[in-house]
Structure 1
Amino acid sequence: MPSGPISVDTHLADILAQVRPLSAYPQPLLEAVGLPVAEDVLSPRSVPIFDNSAMDGYAVRYADVASATTDSPVSLPVTGDIHAGAPSAHPLSPGTSMRIMTGAPVPMGADSVVPVEWTDAGVTQVQVRRAPTLGEHVRPIGDDVTKGDVLVRAGDMLDPRRIGLLASVGIDQVVVPPRPRVVVMSTGAELVEPGRALHPGAIFESNSFLLTAAVRATGAVAYRARSTSDDPAAFLEALEDQLVRADLVITSGGVSKGTRDVVKMALRSEPAMQFRQVAMQPGKPQGFGFVGSDRTPLFALPGNPVSTYVSFEVFVAPALRRLIGRSPVSRPLFRARLTEAVQSAPGKRQYLRGQFIADQDGTRVTPVGGAGSHLLAGLGAANALIVLREDRSDVPAGESVPVMLLDREF
């Protein structure tokens, strides 16, 4: 164990080196939204499956209507109606037409469709007043997808557009990893559930709500456990109860140097747990390791709310993305111009709450709220974290700095 604080990058690298993706298996299409596919998905058929009409109108042979104009319309008998989902019972004979709806199969013998707007909309006899080009308004077989095309490549995330594409070729299942099941636990005898009466010295418990919401925003399944007391035995009992439904556990509080830091006291004898000081602000005390017979990853985060949230974004969210095989694992950093000067503690990577704006004048970021790691109002107003390197202490207004955008999907 290092004698002094380790860097953010070292701690994150150690975590990611130990976290393994969950095993993928076939799942229903809608259960796979937001997950990466584990293998290439090939189309089992061409789409369209048959030639179909792109317009409401009349199926015709081009040769029969090529000369049609407004001044010299072509008149054709209408020998049938074709609706979407109901194929024509017979082929189109030369010199005739069939009424056809959008999406309906083009009958054998027809090679073009005349939109109803180019006709007199006749029912038994139609006057064609404008000629289509050969094949116009016909969607041919395979116009969109050809059988064997790679629709989604391994690692691609299944967004709504890709889900629609897979459904359009008849795929109802896809091989993806499961959504990680994450148990969130808070510790502290002073914590009271929101909605209940506060007793002297108590505060409302917010960390588990913050973390549960953050977990769900990543696409994982979150279970919020009730906060536990400062008794190590009670904490271990509660943890053991939760492990049966957890692919990952997050605790908050009880990891610093206090005399009643319950998480550290309860888990410090676990050989696969490490408690470290990380050169960052907020979020210096960190714990990570594995617990239980199934070696479930456990993140022991600091208890101040802003420290908890920053730690989640920097360390836990990348681990969750690694569990489901998503890439990149960490939020990308963008650049923005500081609207006012800021200060940072030398030797620590600083994460300041900020309000990021991008408009015609470029990108800029304004610090919001105080520096205290207990100040949630500033975090609530922020949509970004200003990231200052360990070698920066005074950064003037107008300088371009890295920012982590918190509301942006990646």
Structure 2
Amino acid sequence: MRVFTTLLSPAEARARYLAALSPAPLGAETVPLDQALDRVLTADLVAGEDLPPFDRSTVDGFAVRAADVEQGGESAPARLRLVGEVRMGEATALRLGAGETVRVPTGGMLPPGADAVVIQERSRVLDETVEVHRPVRPGENMISRGEDVRAGDTVLRAGRRLRPQDLGILAGLGHARVAVRLRPTVAIISSGDEIVPPDRPAGPGQIRDMNTFSLGGLVRHAGGIPVPFPILPDDLATVHGALRRAVEAHDIVLISGGSSVGEHDVVVDAIRALGPPGIVVHGVAIRPGKPTVLAVAGNRPIVGLPGNPVSAMVIFDVFVRPVLAALRGSTEERPPGTRVRARAGRAIAAPTEREDHVRVALEARDGDLWAHPLPAKSGLLTSMVRADGIVVVPPGGRIAEGETVEVDLLEG
């Protein structure tokens, strides 16, 4: 029977794997803007025009020269001559002179000469005269041409994951299509004689396939395209053949189950048979997820995940996520705002030989955020279902009840 001879720390295993793999960004494609959410930009985006392209009002009111109304007040309003009106979506031929004003709608183009807008609630119209009951400063209630973006500005950097607000700025600058990195395809394989599809009754000694679906969701969240394979039996030739097809067709291969050291766990031998560089890491000092396999066939990453669903999800986060980010050309492995600080709901002690990834449920109480540890068994998927995040505790580390911890939030 094979045994784990050396367990690398998660940091050592990750560094060794990325060095052996040297993942590079995939190619590019141009997609319509409405399909670009969460895609990664291939190049810096430089504005070709000002935004907004004209001085515009942010309120319904009257365009003025601020100097003309600086003495205006409730008891002695400034009086201006109303010389016209700006209509939405039209350029104005009006020009504002001293002592004059023009009615403008929200978003309307300001006439030359105007440097502020008086909100209509602070004014009164008397025939062709407008009384202004409050002074305004230059620039008040308006946005100047190019105040948002100036032509030549670098608006978005290469490697940025596009968010909803990014799509808005691209649309505002006239980009109906955008060049983004290809999304990596990820083969997902569940193995084991005991695994059956979710639409089949589970007989004695059998369990339904959960990893294909939980891992598929993680792949989508991380920007990849999951490609589920049929469930494989514990047969070396069958597993090797499926892995060979997956390596030839997809950017990453994930296989769960069969990575331990039992006599019937064939996944390790099947991966080894794919050829060099081969297995880079087998066994990581992490809980859960000790029997993880990190391998490379040609230039394709292969990750052998433990069969227990919680272990598989934790290992995905530690080792698969950074590879996906690199293939996507992303400058961020995790989106900003996915880590919070909380107080431990009870004491936590990690095993002396392994880094512990503790599932926690968050509770807001008395002005503090509390992280309550959940059951540690890797076969209990409900510990992930109930969890809001993960607290990482170093080997032998101890966290006292009430101590501040960092929580990596789960996606969803």
Shorter-chain TM range is 0.7 to 0.9
Which of these residues, 277, 291, 297, is aligned with residue 272 of structure 1?
Answer: 277
Partners of 1:113 and 1:132 within 8 A in 2? no
Distance 2:79 2:405 in 1: 68
Displacement of 1:229 = 2.0
Q: Match of 1:285, SS?
A: coil
Q: Flag the 1:221–1:98 CA change in 2: closer, same or farther, 3 A.
A: same
Partners of 1:19 and 1:319 within 8 A in 2? no
Which of these residues, 305, 317, 324, is aligned with residue 320 of structure 1?
Answer: 324
| 1:377 and 2:382 correspond | yes
Bigger mean CA offset, 33-42 vs 345-354 = 33-42
Alignment of 1:93-242 (within 5 A): 97-108=101-112, 110=114, 112-120=116-124, 125-130=128-133, 133=136, 135=138, 136-242=140-246
Opposite residue 379 of structure 1, the aligned amino acid is: M
Partners of 2:160 and 2:332 within 8 A in 1? no
**What residue in structure 2 maps to residue 386 of structure 1?**
391
Partners of 2:82 and 2:103 within 8 A in 1? no
Using the size of structure 2 for normalisation, the TM-score is: 0.82
Q: Flag the 1:59–1:248 CA change in 2: closer, same or farther, 3 A.
A: same
Partners of 2:28 and 2:181 within 8 A in 1? yes
Which of these residues, 353, 357, 373, is aligned with residue 347 of structure 1?
Answer: 353
Distance 2:207 2:399 in 1: 37
Bigger mean CA offset, 250-259 vs 230-239 = 230-239
Which of these residues, 290, 300, 315, is aligned with residue 296 of structure 2?
Answer: 290
Partners of 2:232 and 2:239 within 8 A in 1? yes
Distance 2:99 2:285 in 1: 83
Distance 1:386 1:61 in 2: 58
Distance 1:72 1:210 in 2: 67
**What residue in structure 1 maps to residue 59 of structure 2?**
55
Displacement of 1:300 = 0.9
Partners of 1:187 and 1:262 within 8 A in 2? no
**What residue in structure 1 maps to residue 24 of structure 2?**
21
Partners of 1:114 and 1:128 within 8 A in 2? no
Displacement of 1:334 = 6.7
Distance 1:404 1:168 in 2: 37
Which of these residues, 8, 11, 15, is aligned with residue 10 of structure 2?
Answer: 8
Distance 2:30 2:364 in 1: 39
Opposite residue 30 of structure 2, the aligned amino acid is: Q
| 1:406 and 2:406 correspond | no
Displacement of 1:133 = 4.1
Q: Flag the 1:328–1:64 CA change in 2: closer, same or farther, 3 A.
A: closer
Q: Flag the 1:402–1:313 CA change in 2: closer, same or farther, 3 A.
A: farther
Opposite residue 304 of structure 1, the aligned amino acid is: N
Bigger mean CA offset, 157-166 vs 211-220 = 157-166
Distance 1:59 1:40 in 2: 37
Using the size of structure 1 for normalisation, the TM-score is: 0.83
Q: Flag the 1:55–1:397 CA change in 2: closer, same or farther, 3 A.
A: closer
Opposite residue 13 of structure 1, the aligned amino acid is: A
Q: Which string of whole-angstrom CA distances, capped at 9 and with x for unpartnered residues, describes residues 356-385 of structure 1? A: 44655655433212x332122222222233
What is the number of equivalent residue pairs in this alignment?
402
**What residue in structure 2 maps to residue 41 of structure 1?**
45
Q: Which string of whole-angstrom CA distances, capped at 9 and with x for unpartnered residues, describes residues 294-350 of structure 1? A: x32111111112221221122112222222233454799876554434444332222
Which of these residues, 283, 295, 303, is aligned with residue 299 of structure 1?
Answer: 303
Q: Match of 2:168, SS?
A: helix
Distance 2:190 2:360 in 1: 26
Displacement of 1:407 = 2.3
Displacement of 1:207 = 1.1
Partners of 1:255 and 1:302 within 8 A in 2? yes
Distance 1:346 1:157 in 2: 38
Displacement of 1:139 = 2.9
Q: Which string of whole-angstrom CA distances, capped at 9 and with x for unpartnered residues, describes residues 160-186 of structure 1? A: 223323332223444442222222111
Q: Match of 2:230, SS?
A: coil
Q: Which string of whole-angstrom CA distances, capped at 9 and with x for unpartnered residues, describes residues 55-112 of structure 1? A: 2234456687777666667474554x42221122555677765432222222345555
Q: Flag the 1:68–1:347 CA change in 2: closer, same or farther, 3 A.
A: closer
Distance 1:345 1:153 in 2: 42
Q: Flag the 1:66–1:281 CA change in 2: closer, same or farther, 3 A.
A: closer
Displacement of 1:251 = 0.8
Partners of 2:43 and 2:159 within 8 A in 1? yes
Opposite residue 26 of structure 2, the aligned amino acid is: S
Distance 1:354 1:298 in 2: 29
Partners of 2:160 and 2:331 within 8 A in 1? no
Q: Flag the 1:306–1:2 CA change in 2: closer, same or farther, 3 A.
A: closer
